[in-house]
Amino acid sequence: MRRTWGLVHRYVGLFIAGFLFLAGTTGALISWDEELDAWLNPNFYLTASSGPYIEPFELAKRIEAADPRAWVKRMPLSYERDKPAMFIIMPRGDPATGRLHELTYNELYFNPTTGVEVGRRKLGKAALDRPHFVAFLYKLHYTLHLPDMLGIDRWGYWLMGGIALVWALDCFVGLYLTFPKWREARSTGGSGAGPDHDDFPRRGWMSRWRRSWTVRTGAGSYRFTFDLHRAAGLWMWLVLFIISFTAASQNLFTELFRPALKAVSSITPGPYDALKEQPLNKPVYPKLSFREAADIAKADAMARGWAEPAARIFYDQRYGYYSVSFYFPGEDRGTGGMGMKRTFFDATDGRLIGQRIPWHGTAADVFMQMQFPVHSGRILGLPGRIMMSVMGLVVAGLSLTGVIIWFRKRRARTRPDRETTTPRLKASRAVPDVPMP
């Protein structure tokens, strides 16, 4: 049984190693996404914009008038001093082709006092220039930039979500393989009669397992690499499992995790329950305007007694609903906590179809809210982001050392002249075949 799980762990690890190395290195960087993006593109974050301000709805009208192919998808409802106003754009459908127009941008930045555009870019574009570098890393991290095919835009989500799910399961296999065999522990547990004779196997087993948590030096490069790989995996096991699980839950949320949660707990209905998803090339056009939806949301928030102002509105063209976010200026930076309050309204009749209030709802609701804040470490604020940045490097290091260990053992096994094998490689064969992931 142990040998079987060892083979599973070895070849699963080899299959996912490249993906995890890429996800780990990019994850270490995007923990500082806003800071890095602001350093590369200061015009997206700073502009002399002291009032009087141009109304956001007026700026949205100007955007759509300037390019009839464009359609505002997200816009601010209030401004921050000396910050540009950011609008997310989506393409309208082209009646001639039955497909969406091709746009070279999907994000626009304006000085809210002058209405002058200060920057534009296309999020999701596979480019390494300054405007797109951070967004490129972000999408590479969880989709590998796999293109849309057959009218489906989730191939990358499925691939990386599947890798994360396999990794989460393999964490348990790796943990099991760090336990020494009982008969090996018994053989080293001692001998002789005495009142504590029956305790020797237990002592020997625990002694051998304790060594799995340490890194020995002076025993050769192979032994050092193996110990480092196994000990790092053990010390960081819980965090590694949390990272892998939350990665899978986010990428496979609609297909797997939400149905699984609904099977074991109750989920407060939301827009995905009330509305039906439409094909990618057939967007739903709203009957309510941004202004009308914002007014409905503000009245609803006032009735709830919320102190936070309506700060941002978003339209989902695949389902046909508006989402309005409530937060004080500067609280949308994503630097910590569980996020912001949001309400969801049907874009056809304005009826409330859902809400998201941090730490409120059923156990399943809160569990779903926690996935991104936990995965990114932002639930713990700055210390959490630092931890996850370091863990990205740990994941990359575990992937690299795992491949090195496999390669060294394979080279030792296939060497033609076994008698000339170095003593260190001979000793390495005594090491368990499959290290901790």
Annotate 231-247 with three-state secondary structure.
Answer: HHHHHCHHHHHHHHHHH
Task: State residue 111's pLDDT score.
Answer: 95
User: How far, in whole angstroms, is CA 251 from its chain's centroid?
Assistant: 8
Buried b (16+ CB within 10 A) or exposed e, 307-317: eeebbbbbbbb
Sequence-separated (6 or more) residues with CB below 8 Å from residue 138:
26, 30, 33
pLDDT tens across the length of the chain (437 residues): 778 888 888 899 999 999 999 999 999 999 999 999 999 999 999 988 777 999 999 999 999 999 999 999 999 999 988 999 999 999 998 888 888 999 999 999 999 999 999 999 998 889 999 999 999 999 999 999 998 887 778 899 999 999 999 999 999 999 888 877 755 545 544 444 444 444 445 556 667 777 888 888 777 888 889 889 989 999 999 999 999 999 999 999 989 999 999 898 899 999 988 999 888 888 999 999 999 999 999 999 999 999 999 999 999 999 999 999 999 987 776 556 788 999 999 999 999 999 999 999 999 999 999 999 999 999 998 999 999 999 999 999 999 999 999 888 888 777 665 544 444 544 444 444 444 44
Task: State residue 96's pLDDT score.
Answer: 86
The full DSSP string for 47-97 is: ----SSPPPHHHHHHHHHHH-TTEEEEEEESS--TT--EEEEEEEPEETTT
> Structural domain boundaries of the chain?
1-41+136-189+199-260+379-437, 47-129, 269-360
Sequence-separated (6 or more) residues with CB below 8 Å from residue 212:
178, 180, 230, 231, 234, 436
Task: State residue 223's pLDDT score.
Answer: 86
The CATH architecture to which 269-360 belongs is: Roll (3.10)
Task: State residue 419's pLDDT score.
Answer: 46
From the number of C-beta atoms within 10 Å of its C-beta (0-12, 13-18, 19+), residue 246 rates as: buried
What predicted TM-score, i.e. pTM, was given to this entire model?
A: 0.85
Sequence-separated (6 or more) residues with CB below 8 Å from residue 117:
108, 109, 110
Task: State residue 425's pLDDT score.
Answer: 47
| 180 three-state secondary structure | coil
The DSSP output letter for 121 is E
Q: How far is Cα 240 from Cα 233, in angstroms, rounded to an integer?
A: 8
**Phi, psi angle pair for 148, to nearest 5°:** -70, 140
**What would the two tokens of residue 437 be?**
């992931």
**Partners of 310 in the beta sheet?**
326
Q: How far is Cα 133 from Cα 139, in angstroms, rounded to an integer?
A: 10
Instruction: Tell me which amino acid residue 158 is.
Output: W
Question: Are the CB atoms for 253 and 262 separated by under 8 Å?
Answer: no
User: How far, in whole angstroms, is CA 73 from its chain's centroid?
Assistant: 23
